[in-house]
Amino acid sequence: MPLPQLFPIGCQHPAPEALTLVLEAVRSRAERNREVGPWASGSWRTLADHGVLAGFLPIDCEGTAACDAAVMAFLMELGGCCLTTALALTQWASGCRIIAEADDSVRHRYLPRLARGELTTTVGISQLTTSRRHLGRAVMQAQQIDGCWQLDGLCPWVTGGDSVDTIVTGAVTEADEVRFFIADCRATGITVEPPMEMLALTGSRTSVVHFQAAAAADMIEPPATRRPGAGGLTTSALAIGAARASAALLASEASRRDDMAPVAKGLAAEADALAERVMTAVHRGIEPHERDQLRGEANSLVIRAAQAGLVASKGAGFVVGHPAERAVREAMFFLVWSCPQTVSTATLCELASLA
């Protein structure tokens, strides 16, 4: 019998039965996800089997093309369930969006297998926005030799670097044009450093990936005209989901301490209000300055909610492995993950009481 699918064609919301099953399965593996990543834990297989991956992809490539509202609602839920898995999914989705801009031969070669979970990918493009040049040279360079594209340089932040099959990356050509490429992680000339030990989300297997005369499997033709930027709604949605998880932890403590109840309700209400603004933006669009303001408020909320959970948990929450301890560390990630400069500056001013 087929498994319930999260994003049936034409759906406006995640299917409730499939949503429950997916979240329960991911939550049951949360510790393994944080240790080895969702690819090795089995969570990625769950996402594929329940049609989560297909929802991000076009119908002509075996996807179900879920509407943006349904995807955003799911990401909020996943962000509160397992932030490691949510991060991996967003990086996979970014890679898939770039592949979807390729010609039909490339799209149909990759996207159906990505939808089924038979092939995995991630994205390595941060060098295009945060460190495009080093000592006057592009951090990632591409040159065409005998009709084939060759990549040299490095991708400094690659989620799942040692766990996926392909990397979608960006490089600068000799004509100073940004082009996007799909690289096979097993190709000669590609070296993946051991995953970084980070403050949180080490299970995301984030690594530095080096390219030395590495042949690209495919180039995205025509090249994407827009360069990937930071600060979309997705990161805010995951922050809201994580804040809701901390508010739920606080509510649990409030069942034994009446003084905590108003705080838990206040944080939950703030998360709901931000979630409503995100969904309104999904439907109507949002100006960049309003989007950045929303991101800043989501960052503030997730940090405050995590700290409140720690205060409520007292000494027990300060022990490694406690949900409150983990929430505090994971909340810090939103201060550095795809954070626009305007948001970072506003945060610094707030911390220094300059706002």
The whole-number pLDDT of residue 232 equals 81
pLDDT over 70, % of the chain:
95
Q: How far apart are CA 317 and CA 324, in angstroms?
A: 5
Boundary residue ending a domain (196, 219, 242): 219
> Does residue 126 form part of some domain?
yes
> Does residue 9 form part of some domain?
no
The whole-number pLDDT of residue 131 equals 54
Boundary residue ending a domain (95, 119, 143): 119
> Does residue 228 form part of some domain?
no
> Does residue 2 form part of some domain?
no
Q: Average pLDDT, stretch 256-280? A: 93
The whole-number pLDDT of residue 130 equals 62
Q: Please tell me which residue, 138 or 145, carries the higher pLDDT value.
A: 145
Q: What is the DSSP letter of 217?
A: S
The whole-number pLDDT of residue 254 equals 79
Clarify whether residues 30 and 67 are in a common domain. yes
* Among the ranges given (82-91, 103-112, 254-263), the one the predictor scored with the smallest mean pLDDT: 254-263
| pLDDT per residue as tens digits for the range 120-131 | 999 999 888 765
Q: Which domain holds residue 202?
A: 122-219
Contact 339, 234 (CB under 8 A): no
Boundary residue ending a domain (119, 146, 173): 119
Clarify whether residues 241 and 344 are in a common domain. yes
Tally of domains in the chain: 3
> Does residue 168 form part of some domain?
yes
pTM of the model: 0.94
Clarify whether residues 176 and 252 are in a common domain. no
| pLDDT per residue as tens digits for the range 297-312 | 999 999 999 999 999 9
Clarify whether residues 133 and 107 are in a common domain. no
> Does residue 21 form part of some domain?
yes
Clarify whether residues 340 and 242 are in a common domain. yes
CA atoms within 13 A on the CB side of 91: 31
* Burial class of residue 69, CB neighbours in 10 A (0-12, 13-18, 19+): middle
> Does residue 226 form part of some domain?
no
Q: Average pLDDT, stretch 289-295? A: 95
Average pLDDT, the chain: 92
Q: Is the pLDDT of residue 204 over 60?
A: yes
For tokens 């319930």, the residue is 4
Clarify whether residues 69 and 134 are in a common domain. no
Backbone φ/ψ region at 157: left (φ over 0), alpha (ψ -120 to 50), beta: beta
The whole-number pLDDT of residue 228 equals 41
Clarify whether residues 215 and 318 are in a common domain. no
Pairing mode of beta strands 218-219, 178-184:
antiparallel
Tokens of residue 89, six digits? 């999914």
* Burial class of residue 232, CB neighbours in 10 A (0-12, 13-18, 19+): middle
Clarify whether residues 111 and 140 are in a common domain. no
CATH no. for residue 307? 1.20.140.10
Clarify whether residues 115 and 129 are in a common domain. no
CATH no. for residue 136? 2.40.110.10
Clarify whether residues 107 and 128 are in a common domain. no
Q: How far apart are CA 294 and CA 343, in angstroms?
A: 9
Q: Quick one: which of 351, 223, 243 has its CA closest to 307? A: 243
Count of CB atoms situated within 10 Å of the CB of 60: 12
Return the SS3 of 262. helix
CATH no. for residue 99? 1.10.540.10
Clarify whether residues 101 and 59 are in a common domain. yes
Clarify whether residues 107 and 143 are in a common domain. no
* Burial class of residue 265, CB neighbours in 10 A (0-12, 13-18, 19+): middle
